[in-house]
Structure 1
């Protein structure tokens, strides 16, 4: 069954509360209520992860963990080695065991999850303290990776969103720390870290049916890959904006994956990807962006860039093939066109004039999608964004080229009037559509 457009857990919880009231007031009958329950899968709603009690308990757990770590650090040198080891292991397993007992045996989920989180924090501290006890040498990212492995194992064994988010935060720190240790880490491993992490957190989000973890994992993955690309090429000797575009495009492909798995689709993530691609495309629509950059033409022979572009095309093609939502298909096409507007001139080495024309045309196509989405769905925001985007492109060309102040002022007035007229016309269009529906 094709999922409805608004499939967020918050909307479904609200709908589940409203349907019984509608039945009592006679607005829907039993068959209609059952149809709504099946369409929105109201019987499959995940339980609310965070209540006020859970939030307070987690904050308390963080304070307890920090307090324990500070106390041990203050008296560390006075303790014998055996006492240190027993204290560290006892604190960790005591927190895990107590959390499991309170959560799964006594049914006190807030306190249990808080203790499990304390156990993971103590485990992370234990890695550093055991290294100090036994005089172990290593890089920071290695200790962080060990912390991630332990926290992920606990998150898979005891599904706990707070523990999963801790693992995600530490994992991002490990990837970024590895960027400063490239002399001690193999390049394939350095590039593999975020991708393997993405696979694990995707699996964990699917297991927990957590829309929040799914979205945050995508954003964290995109940020890490972007920073890796900037670290590789540098702001002074390469086009980091291209990697920003690739990351945004990957975020969009990533956001489409749950459509076949019954998980809420990442509308927010695709929106971020759309405007990130539009922003990068807008930057490259200016002539100054075509100035020779060291390393620019090496992009054409860089296998990783071609691999990412091929994967982007494959992901977009898969989305267009499996989705029945016309607006989703056109959004995918608009993002793909915008990505091609930036990538193809760089990878194929198009002449400067052809590259500028191609990029401006692709940006106009993205603006046209926003206009269409506004008209098709009656979305004021999309229509006004599309109108403003078209106006921005035209004004940018007037300011980029040598034109007189009189022409610039005329352009300002003309485009301003056009935007206002488009807004009024759209309001009348919505009123006519509403009149047709009520007729």
Structure 2
């Protein structure tokens, strides 16, 4: 007996549903389960990708002996054949086969770009090639019906667009680690902008969930990375032109947020405030002094800076405040999982700040006892207060 059957039996015994409703709900859930075998789709598409890699490896073993004209002829013949089969399957009901062929086609397009670059000795960066691939494969990706195809395309496109933008602004990327903070800042801003655009454009609507996923992931990565940089007193090379794409994208994102009718004024204010604070977070001179209080470099100094001027105190507070702003937005927008995750991260950052500031005390027996009590207290507070906090956030918009 499945979990849904057990729940339906309990509901029927409690009088919440009758026998006909029980059968109708069970039939719907079983049919929906059959139509959403995502694991089967993923395995089939993964298998087609592995077959393609195997074919490429066989060809690579005899690559030197094959004339360039034959290489290009076979490559374009395969592309045309795949395109014809995909077009034929679009009029059938076999969507799984169609999407599997689309994955094979877009991967072959990427291989074709590499083949042309190898034959004609064209030099370039990997993100330029993927950006070109994204542009030429977007029309056929829009025909896909399953999330995996859109997620694959969005994942590669976001990476290529971010690195290409920073490369264009910097003139040419030399050492990736120098420009990495600019890349980390641009990624969530661009993902959020493309998510809002995809929600507006019906043709791109299927890609919106993938853009939203990468926005949340890249935003957390960007926040954690800059928190570590500011709290650890790490040196950062800052050149304004590296961050120009992020600033332009932030302005576009703020405009999209202001023009989105489904967002209440409070949500717009919360999101815009979080964006501005994140941008200021990445600037080393506006909100930060370059002095620390509890890092190893500060402990070596003869006199530590005051607690109000220490970057390793300001950084956690700013991180918690940005998380709090987005938590309130998630709470009154119905994103329950995001709300629960962010409230947990806020409590976790409080604990990390405690150990960061009270490291010496935590090394003693009494300090360990107090630290354990504090962790238990935060866990209890988070568990008992998250529902009240979410209810309060919803009432703010009434």
TM-score (norm 1): 0.54
The one of 348, 353, 358 equivalent to 1:398 is 358
Deviations 1:279-311 (A, max 9, x none): 24532443724x6x5x43x43997556435544
The one of 421, 424, 430 equivalent to 2:377 is 421
Gaps of 5+ in 2: 19-31, 292-307, 390-398
Structure with larger RCO (C-alpha < 8 A, sep 6+) = 2
| Counterpart-to-counterpart distance in 2, 1:367 and 1:150 | 37
What is the match of residue 248 of structure 2? Answer: 307
What is the match of residue 155 of structure 1? Answer: 141
8 Å CA contact 2:48, 2:100 repeated in 1: yes
What is the match of residue 23 of structure 2? Answer: none
8 Å CA contact 1:253, 1:312 repeated in 2: yes
RMSD: 5.7
The one of 288, 293, 315 equivalent to 2:233 is 288
Higher mean displacement: 349-358 or 419-428: 349-358
| Counterpart-to-counterpart distance in 1, 2:241 and 2:289 | 11
- Does the C-alpha gap of structure 1 residues 346 and 73 become closer, same or farther in structure 2, counting only changes over 3 Å? same
Gaps of 5+ in 1: 1-13, 30-44, 176-193, 195-220, 400-404, 434-439
What is the match of residue 185 of structure 2? Answer: 245
- Does the C-alpha gap of structure 1 residues 167 and 86 become closer, same or farther in structure 2, counting only changes over 3 Å? same
| Counterpart-to-counterpart distance in 1, 2:276 and 2:179 | 20
What is the match of residue 90 of structure 2? Answer: 104
Q: What's the CA shift for 1:339?
A: 1.2
Deviations 1:76-110 (A, max 9, x none): 77778876665444433223323333x13454333
- Does the C-alpha gap of structure 1 residues 130 and 303 become closer, same or farther in structure 2, counting only changes over 3 Å? closer
- Does the C-alpha gap of structure 1 residues 74 and 346 become closer, same or farther in structure 2, counting only changes over 3 Å? same
- Does the C-alpha gap of structure 1 residues 226 and 419 become closer, same or farther in structure 2, counting only changes over 3 Å? farther
- Does the C-alpha gap of structure 1 residues 268 and 94 become closer, same or farther in structure 2, counting only changes over 3 Å? closer
8 Å CA contact 1:370, 1:385 repeated in 2: no
| Counterpart-to-counterpart distance in 2, 1:241 and 1:341 | 13
The one of 307, 315, 318 equivalent to 1:362 is 318
What is the match of residue 342 of structure 1? Answer: 281
| Counterpart-to-counterpart distance in 2, 1:303 and 1:432 | 41
Aligned residues: 344
